[in-house]
Structure 1
Amino acid sequence: DLDDKRVQVTIFRVANFGTLAAVRLCKLSVRAREENTFGTRPDSGEQKTRISDQRFNQSEYLESQERIHTGKKHHHCFQCGKSFTQFGGLKVHERIHTGEKPHQCSQCGKSFTQIGTLKVHERIHTGEKPHQCSQCGKSFNNLGTLNVHERIHTGEKPHQCSQCGKSFTRLGTLKIHERIRTGERSYKCLHCENTFCSLGILKLHEITHTGEKPHQFSHYGKNFTQSGSLKMHERIHTGEKPFKCFQCGKTFNRSRNLKLHEMIHTGEKPHHCSQCGKSYTLLGSLKMHERIHTGEKPFKCLHCGKTFYRSTNLKLHEMIHTGEKPYRCSQCGKSYTLLGGLKMHERIHTGEKNFKCLHCGKTFYCSRNLKLHEMMHTGEKPHHCSQCGKRFTLLGGLKIHERIHTGEKPHHC
């Protein structure tokens, strides 16, 4: 029935073969297709001539549609063997091998293989960002970038590693992840012998040779090697925190900080100590923990020569020499080296005890005291004597014990 405006099957007469062929198309109307493809009325002489002239085009169109729906790819690249449904797609692909880039930007002279890529590039110069996120209002110069951005809000990660099951929002990030697993490093620096798993990392590395810092902060001229670093820096001044936790609503200025925060909710601790099995959210935390086992203390005080596991511990120690205590209690005037020390002190005035033991329900002013208390329940004693092997919950307890072996008696009458 030609009056039916929504049909799935359209019949074309292919003149070359004198037969009827049916192909399932995308529910277009017969009437619209007759008007747009074959003319309004096939009974006029002029229109018959038009149809006759277009027989080959109709046949070609039919074959093209069949390939789309059947997945057949008849056009093959002689260089790499990749196949395409459309001849035009093959032609564009071949430019990868020939290096041909016929579409040039009139503003900066940069060339592109496809006209569409040039159009998107030109928006960098015009500032046009026609694609806006419905969730946060952020705008983008191309639809693909918007689609990837929206996954931040939806949490969608459609690209999964077949080896370890880890999922990613971008296909490119998955590809880089897979190269890390396989050890593939296809991108080589022209200045030195270093190789890299992605072109982006190579470009960042090359800046170390050139010293280039193309991204400048408009307020006081500070320069950055990466546009992303500039954007993150600008958020310090604007206070923008676009990355929001779906669990508790807390916002962050970096996506990385959000991911680390989300591990608090999930309990994920992917980094494990090979010596004792203790797990950590951050690789850096694991590295610091491993120094307990190795005894490595790479951070040295220039005033007294004392060494530390962590740089933060060294900085705190140096304040003993300088006497610096920048944080002062508004209630009693007591001063502290650390803001955290002041916060814990203020809980004495407020009576606040936020840290609760899951074993017995006892509450504490600070997380450190809770952790030490929990060791009573778990029996954990991470500090052991190198002389006799005796173990202690606290490092201070170990230090006192070691004096038995050294004979040290620091306290005089």
Structure 2
Amino acid sequence: MKKFTLIAGSTALLLSVTLSSSTQATQLVYTPVNPAFGGNYLNGSYLLANASAQNEHTGGSGYTPPSALDRLASSLQSRLMSQLFNDAANGGEGYLKTDDFEINVVNEDGSLLVHITDLLTGETTIIEVGGIVGNETTGGNMKKLIVLSIAALLAACSSVESEFEGIEATTSLMPKGETYQDLVSLPMPQGVMVAAVYDFRDQTGQYKPIPSSNFSTAVPQSGTAFLSQALNDSSWFVPVEREGLQNLLTERKIVRAGLKGNANGLPQLNSAQVLMEGGIVAYDTNVKTGGAGARYLGIGASGQYRVDRITVNLRAVDIRTGRLLSSVTTTKSVISKEITAGVFKFIDAQELLEAEAGFTSNEPVSLCVAAAIESAVVHLIADGIWKGSWNLLDEKSGHANPVLQKYWLEAHSESKVSMRINQSNS
């Protein structure tokens, strides 16, 4: 009988393996390197040459009858083994029997034991998740590597499959971040202001740097909708429809025609007190980039990240005089991350071990635009209170509001903020 113990660190090492694939797009997209897994076919010669240069098996192996481990490696299917490991991890016992092998996966005190019996020779191999203990027969370091690699890759398949099972198509309200909570936590105003938003557009003129997306803009074109919602959700402004004003006037004409001359039956449109102007004024790509990687004897892992930045300007204009009441500029970072891992290594003279995995995480640009606009609205309100453009319902309790103080401290020194608060308390 042979008994091997699989160290948890070895699993992590074999699962974190590969050449990192870079992309010219602002958002990172995972692309396999190995052509066998969908990567660029031009990478094949490089990978093979690199693996050959590190190949320790310089002599020909000749023909030898396949051993029990060789037949096991060719007959095991990742999906079946995934089910075995899942059954054992859930407290049951995983069992699989083929024409040549019998496999039992059991959970003993938190450790997984895999019993593999060759029905043709009667030889049994035990793989234990723990540490390497002795063998009752000698099989060579390469055969141990085969067993450990198979177990690690099967565990990887199980992990990836469970991740895919958690991905479902869902519909929900747009997620709200910290800036939205600040927006709805501001102190109450002395009076609500009617605000008009005609256009809050993308002024960057930038397009996505992907060759196949030359006509896709780098940021969403829905700034007016995000701003109107932020104003409506705050307790300080009541937005009136101006972006679709022509549609509104058309509907009012239809209603007025149905009233047959009774003009008093249709109230007048509300006029705004404040006009909101501004837009998305900048989108800077690759403000910060970085990465790290390690590779040894064909086994390695790497990761990289990119940071873009969105800049939003928001201005409040007095309708009666045209005077600029307040103007603020806010920024929001857009973070993209990628982690890849893989192995491309000869484990025998004519046997090549290939494995690759990776994932990317891209912060949605639409959520970042919404957060930047919400932050601009909060800063606009805080700046207007500081300048006296609008008043609080209760000045003493309002100045003690932690959200208002936090945004004041971003724009003014701590001594000035403390002096302002002390004046309201006196």
Indicate whether the TM-score tops 0.5.
Answer: no
Q: Which structure has the highest helix share of the two?
A: 1
Where relative contact order (Cα < 8 A, 6+ residues apart) is larger, the structure is 2
Using the size of structure 1 for normalisation, the TM-score is 0.21
Q: Which is greater in Rg?
A: 1
Structure with greater strand percent:
2
Q: TM-score, normalised by structure 2?
A: 0.20
